[in-house]
Structure 1
Amino acid sequence: MSWWNSLRASLFGQSASVGDPNGWLIRAVNGGRTHAGTSVSEFNAMKLPVVYACINRIANPIARFPLRILRPKDGGGVEEVLDHPLSRRLSTRPNDLMSSRTLRKAVQSHALSWGNGYAEIERNGRGQAVNLWPLLPWNTQPVRQEDQFFYRTRIDGRSFELPHDDVLHIMDMSQDGYVGLSPVFLAREALGMALALEQFGAKFFANDMKSGGFLMHPGKLSATAQGNLGKPKEQRTDPGANLERQGGLDNAHRVKVLEEGMKFIQTTIPPEDAQFLSTRDFQIAEIARMYDVPLILLQSHEKTTSWGTGIEQLMIGFVQQTIDPWVGAWEQEMNWKLFTEEERKLGYFVKFNMNALLRGDMVTRSKFYREMFSVGAYSPNMILGLEDEDPIGPDGDHHFVPTNYGTIANAVANVGRTVSSADPNRESGDGGPRE
């Protein structure tokens, strides 16, 4: 039946066990239960505020960086490409239905939760990219069959096969290079514990902020009392036991009455003894570690001593270690797939302007511009352009350096001229011959 397996694989993709922890069935039922007793999936992980915050902290910069198509220009340097179909759309409206920020944040969020973010590249008759459309990661998968590699996706209930070059695939860690690993799946036990702590806290408050225990009766319960213990008020048979239910947030401040002299004996460990709050803080740090996000960015200031310069260094590390690798993933994927072979030969490439992170910091931005201007790297017009201000005319295109600066070659040449022009018989300052 090998022919049937081959035919089925070509029509429906490779088969997978229903128990596959990364398969569709397990994901459909919330990823299965963790050892903490909670179910974790890419869908419900976002219900944890710390997961939502981590994804936001990474996806927001990716979504807001200015994005341009550039190419090398004669004489050195680069210039912006303005005649490409995506020149204006890439940074503003990659398709008619959504902004560039919306598309980039959606795809980046998919990559941070599912491990894979996909966007379809729509092309014109010349093969040029004209639009980008996000694809749902739970409906899209890369398929490799013999010498073919493509993406299979479902849109509005219909299945499509998209060429490999027509899909942007943003991912981080992978074992085979084709499919990214889901961070949520890899850290499902840590996330499951965090969800369990959320549920425990909610149930604790719903039960009048009291832990569990048992009811002690001095004698033997009557049949009516036994039935009343497990029934709501409207279903109780004994008129004398027609009492409100004991638990629940709505009954938190009402008087509780136990039947026939029963007493409540607490048996479980109180939350303060179980270090409930400390455990919750630890899980926040554990999930922040999973996404490489500093705790200070998650409004978690517990035991934080890094202030001033310390926070500045944390932010630099966050940009270098967390944001920059994702920017590299976007740029490499776009630079290869967005452009035709002819455009790649002309040197077309996409560039994220990460200097946009400095927009909210006037002091740091001013210092950066001043340093770049003082070494001749930036002209006044270049600085004005980065600030979205009008240029000051042709004179603003000049680059300036301090007059007391010079090249090493000029310094050596000046020393040589000084030595050659000196009088070897000139006397020294003490009256003796100059050596």
Structure 2
Amino acid sequence: MSIWNTIKERIFKNEISADTADGNGFEKLMKWWGIDSEKPKAIAETTYFTCLKVLSEAMGKMPLKFYKEDESGGRVRAPTDRIANLLMYRPNPVMTPSTFWSTIEVNCEHYGNAYVWIQTEYVRKGKYGGDIVVRGFWPMQSECVDVLMDDAGIFGNKGQLYYRYSDPKSGKTYTFRQDSVLHFKTWLTWDGIMGKSVRDILKDTVTGAGHSQAYLNRLYQGGLTASSVLQYTGDLDKTLRTKLQKEYNDLLTGAKNAGKVVPLPVGFTLQPLSYKLTDAQYYELRKYTALQIAAAFGVKPNQINNYEKSSYANSETQQLAFLVDTMLYRLTMYEQEINYKCLTDEQRAEGYLYKFNERVLLRANAETQMKTITSAIQNGIYSPNEGRHFLDLPSQEGGDILIVNGNYVPLTSVGAAYGVNGEGGDGNK
């Protein structure tokens, strides 16, 4: 049976009232269609929103760097080309890099997938040739993108992916090849192509948390006033009962009526129906639900303001755990996609690569930072100028030479100065 026939049958059977004078006709119709108009949105749930904020801001904090590996495997900053300049300084005319990467991450977590269109333009050079130049990187609305697999070779490339974007403003549809789109996904994917969003993974949990927040909002809007029963002697028809109910709802509910004295006619009794949130373990359930949502995102308890088992010391440890357990995978996924689609085969062969600077997430206080930098310089890990750069100080002459303590000797020469193993000393064995 078609949907339209089902609706007509229910309307004619008076299952859906045609009388919309009470203002509920549309809501009833929506429910018959299986659409709950009062269902809270996931983004309105505080913990869910906080987790999106933590992850998107963490992604936006880390600058993208362009490196080249030398023959020994070390990495040095490489001269930037046009694509590197776009990714590092201005992906498109309207977005900074921090805004760009935050937008990508929040779309990825909320929808399961995030897509970036690589805008290119053919620039003619001379009479017979030209180059394809990248003009910008543009995030696409995830809910407007369909991913198609050409497993039959219809477009000439069997096994290739195509991204179809339906522009909600113009109504036009665009199709892009897979090498023209950066595709980022969440940690959960069953086919390796499409990611699954956290709100789908925890659908019931997130929805329940949203209902909980909506209930609390209604409670505040009602001035934290409990429901009441109005008892009276006699009988009233439906019209009078509705009128009486509306009159006392206006007198008793809302923050403006808190503590207000309401007169009752003779024969009427008002009996509050008190229901304490502690009886339903409301706080405990809310806290447990919040921890479940945060765990699915990989966000630590202290990042959602749960400090019950936290101290200053282990909060710093939790930040390190957040980087290792959560962001390290995200960064690896981002870097692999960028390095594959934003570098040529020749660049990859020569050792060029993009890498996010994750160390910005571990910035310590001034004393700890100074001790770390000083130790690295004294042990030959950083040159003095590299240490100065961490403090945003200019280079100094002679500061590019690595230095170590002069008392250090190779492991094979330990004890040589004392005549051990027949070397040095006074010749006595």
Query: Please, which moves more after superposition, 354-363 or 113-122?
Result: 354-363
Q: Deviations over 1:236-268 (max 9, x none)?
A: xxxxxxx95432333334333445522233456
Which of these residues, 185, 193, 205, is aligned with residue 178 of structure 1?
193
On the 8 A contact 1:127/1:340 being kept in 2, the answer is no
Mark the runs of 5 or more structure 1 residues left unpaired by the alignment: 1-27, 234-242, 427-433
**1:121 Cα deviation (Å)?**
1.5
Distance of 1:359 and 1:310 partners within structure 2: 15
Instruction: Kindly indicate whether residue 39 of structure 2 is the aligned counterpart of residue 39 of structure 1.
Output: yes
**1:219 Cα deviation (Å)?**
3.3
Distance of 1:130 and 1:313 partners within structure 2: 42
Which of these residues, 354, 358, 362, is aligned with residue 354 of structure 1?
358
Q: Deviations over 1:129-179 (max 9, x none)?
A: 442111111011321121231111122321111111121111122111110
On the 8 A contact 2:113/2:184 being kept in 1, the answer is yes
State how 1:281-320 maps to structure 2 within 5 Å: 281-301=287-307, 304-320=308-324
Distance of 1:224 and 1:149 partners within structure 2: 63
Distance of 1:381 and 1:275 partners within structure 2: 58
**1:76 Cα deviation (Å)?**
5.3
Distance of 2:295 and 2:72 partners within structure 1: 46
Secondary structure at the aligned position of 1:103 is classed as helix
On the 8 A contact 1:174/1:180 being kept in 2, the answer is yes
State how 1:231-250 maps to structure 2 within 5 Å: 231=246, 245-250=251-256
2:15 corresponds in structure 1 to none
TM-score where L is the length of structure 1:
0.78
Which of these residues, 121, 128, 135, is aligned with residue 140 of structure 2?
135
1:87 corresponds in structure 2 to 84
1:219 corresponds in structure 2 to 234
Q: Deviations over 1:342-389 (max 9, x none)?
A: 222222210111122244622332232123223211101112223332
Instruction: Kindly indicate whether residue 165 of structure 2 is the aligned counterpart of residue 149 of structure 1.
Output: no
Secondary structure at the aligned position of 1:170 is classed as strand
**Counterparts in 2 of 1:196 and 1:333: CA distance versus 1, 3 Å:** same
**Counterparts in 2 of 1:185 and 1:268: CA distance versus 1, 3 Å:** farther
On the 8 A contact 2:417/2:424 being kept in 1, the answer is no
**Counterparts in 2 of 1:256 and 1:343: CA distance versus 1, 3 Å:** same
**1:397 Cα deviation (Å)?**
0.7
**Counterparts in 2 of 1:222 and 1:328: CA distance versus 1, 3 Å:** closer
- Fraction of identical pairs, as percent: 23
In structure 1, give the amino acid aligned to 2:289.
Q
Q: Deviations over 1:175-195 (max 9, x none)?
A: 111100011111121111111
In structure 1, give the amino acid aligned to 2:92.
N
Which of these residues, 330, 333, 350, is aligned with residue 334 of structure 2?
330
2:280 corresponds in structure 1 to 274
Distance of 1:264 and 1:347 partners within structure 2: 80
In structure 2, give the amino acid aligned to 1:408.
L
Secondary structure at the aligned position of 2:182 is classed as strand
Distance of 1:344 and 1:228 partners within structure 2: 77
**Counterparts in 2 of 1:410 and 1:104: CA distance versus 1, 3 Å:** same
Instruction: Kindly indicate whether residue 244 of structure 2 is the aligned counterpart of residue 229 of structure 1.
Output: yes
**1:417 Cα deviation (Å)?**
7.2
Secondary structure at the aligned position of 2:322 is classed as helix
Secondary structure at the aligned position of 2:195 is classed as coil
Instruction: Kindly indicate whether residue 407 of structure 2 is the aligned counterpart of residue 401 of structure 1.
Output: no
Which of these residues, 198, 211, 214, is aligned with residue 196 of structure 1?
211
Q: Deviations over 1:377-420 (max 9, x none)?
A: 11011122233321102x11101111222222333877887515
Secondary structure at the aligned position of 1:201 is classed as helix
On the 8 A contact 1:121/1:338 being kept in 2, the answer is no
Distance of 2:423 and 2:368 partners within structure 1: 47
Q: Deviations over 1:42-85 (max 9, x none)?
A: xx322222222211112112112121111123565323232410
**1:89 Cα deviation (Å)?**
2.8
Secondary structure at the aligned position of 2:136 is classed as strand
Question: What RMSD over aligned residues (CA atoms) do the two structures have, in Å?
Answer: 3.1
Instruction: Kindly indicate whether residue 377 of structure 2 is the aligned counterpart of residue 373 of structure 1.
Output: yes
**1:337 Cα deviation (Å)?**
0.8
TM-score where L is the length of structure 2:
0.79
Mark the runs of 5 or more structure 2 residues left unpaired by the alignment: 1-29, 123-130, 152-157
Q: How many residues align?
A: 381
Which of these residues, 343, 353, 370, is aligned with residue 339 of structure 1?
343
On the 8 A contact 1:62/1:105 being kept in 2, the answer is yes
**Counterparts in 2 of 1:198 and 1:347: CA distance versus 1, 3 Å:** same
Distance of 1:164 and 1:325 partners within structure 2: 22
